[in-house]
Amino acid sequence: MILDTLPDPAIAGQGCPPRTRLQIDLLLLAIEALELGGSEAILAFAEELDLTDIIKNRVNLWRMRSSNPMRRANIRRPLTIMEAKALVVIACYIARRLTVVIRQMLMIYQQMNDKQIPLEQNLRLSNYLERFRAHFKSRMNARRSGVLALTSDEKLDELAINLLEKLLFCTGTAGMQRFWISLFDGEVE
């Protein structure tokens, strides 16, 4: 199975740490902002990659993503290692499919930033950042301290660009495995 390509982290218990759950959910949020119908794409890839025994349907996907402690509708249930692996595999496959778009957006961002041109001048980048901010604000609990630090549009834009870089990282050589291992950096016993 494709999940066997990702090593099992040496962490206590069966659930993922809160930071890992947050990072996976934010990566999926960036995918949803990049591509209209991102949640449908996640479900389609789950079926294509034969992961429907883990990600059964939309409600099951929502429950997994709601294990993110910063979510407005946070469910206090652990995200299992197998569920986390499935979400990472799907995110990486979608990122590979969107590699050209991600590279273009990061190049445009770099050029605009170097020339100090407002990001709103580029329609594609502006749409992505706007959708990301809207998704983030509608789904995250504004009373959480981690979310409070991200109340300004500039901070959210920074996070959105950082997530694009992570998505691009996932598309590289052994990117899926390297991203997976990075999720547990500092969490391993």
Asked whether residue 5 is domain-assigned, the answer is no
Q: Give pLDDT tens digits for 39-91.
A: 888 999 999 999 999 999 999 999 899 898 888 887 778 899 999 999 999 99
The total of structural domains in the chain comes to 1
Confidence of residue 12 (pLDDT cuts 50, 70, 90): low
Q: How many residues does the chain have?
A: 189
Asked whether residue 76 is domain-assigned, the answer is yes
Asked whether residue 187 is domain-assigned, the answer is no
Asked whether residue 150 is domain-assigned, the answer is yes
Residue 55, helix vs strand vs coil: coil
Asked whether residue 118 is domain-assigned, the answer is yes
Asked whether residue 188 is domain-assigned, the answer is no
Residue 21: give the domain boundaries: 14-181
187, 9 in Cβ contact below 8 A?
Answer: yes
Report how far apart, in Å, the C-alpha atoms of 120 and of each of 109, 116, 161 are. 10, 12, 14
Tokens 């996907």, located at residue:
61
Q: Give pLDDT tens digits for 126-145.
A: 999 999 999 999 988 877 76
Asked whether residue 143 is domain-assigned, the answer is yes
Asked whether residue 73 is domain-assigned, the answer is yes
